[in-house]
Amino acid sequence: MAEDLRPIEELSFREAMAELDGIVGLLESNTLELEDSLVSYERGVALLRALKGRLGEAQQRVDVLMGELSGEVGDQERDTTLS
3 belongs to a structural domain: no
21 belongs to a structural domain: yes
Domain that holds residue 28: 9-62
String of DSSP letters for 41-62: HHHHHHHHHHHHHHHHHHHHHH
Residue 10: pLDDT band (50, 70, 90) is: very high
83 belongs to a structural domain: no
Give the integer Cα–Cα distance in Å for 44 and 42.
5
2 belongs to a structural domain: no
16-37 tens-digit pLDDT: 999 999 999 999 999 999 999 9
Give the integer Cα–Cα distance in Å for 17 and 71.
35
pLDDT at residue 70 in the model: 82
Q: What is the DSSP letter of 73?
A: P
- What Rg value do the Cα atoms of the chain yield, rounded? 19
47-81 tens-digit pLDDT: 999 999 999 999 999 999 988 888 765 556 666 66
55 belongs to a structural domain: yes
81 belongs to a structural domain: no
**CATH number of the domain to which 38 belongs:** 1.10.287
Give the integer Cα–Cα distance in Å for 11 and 24.
18
Q: Report how many domains make up the chain.
A: 1
